[in-house]
Amino acid sequence: MHRAIIEKDGHLFVSVTTVNGLIQDENLIRWRGDVGNDFADERMQIGRDKGNRGHDLLQLVNDGKDYKIDDKELEPWEKECIDGYKNWLGTYVDEIHLVEKQLFSVHFGVHGKPDFVFRLKGDDHYSIGDFKFGNYIDKKKIAMQLSGYDMLCECNGIKVKNWFYFHLNKGWKLPEIIAQSEHASAKNAFLQLKNVFIYFKT
pLDDT digits (tens, 9 = 90+) for 2-19: 567 888 888 889 999 999
**Confidence check: pLDDT of 146 > 60:** yes
What's the pLDDT score for residue 62? 87
CATH of the domain at 145: 3.90.320
> What's the total number of domains in the chain?
1
152-155: long-range contacts, CB 8 A cutoff, minimum separation 24: 152/16, 152/103, 152/104, 152/105, 152/108, 152/110, 152/111, 152/112, 152/114, 153/103, 153/114, 153/117, 153/126, 153/128, 154/105, 155/103, 155/104, 155/105, 155/106, 155/107, 155/108
The pTM assigned to this predicted structure is: 0.88
Q: Which domain holds residue 166?
A: 5-201
pLDDT digits (tens, 9 = 90+) for 27-70: 666 766 777 877 766 766 766 677 777 788 888 888 887 666 55
Band (pLDDT 50/70/90 cuts) for residue 1 is: very low
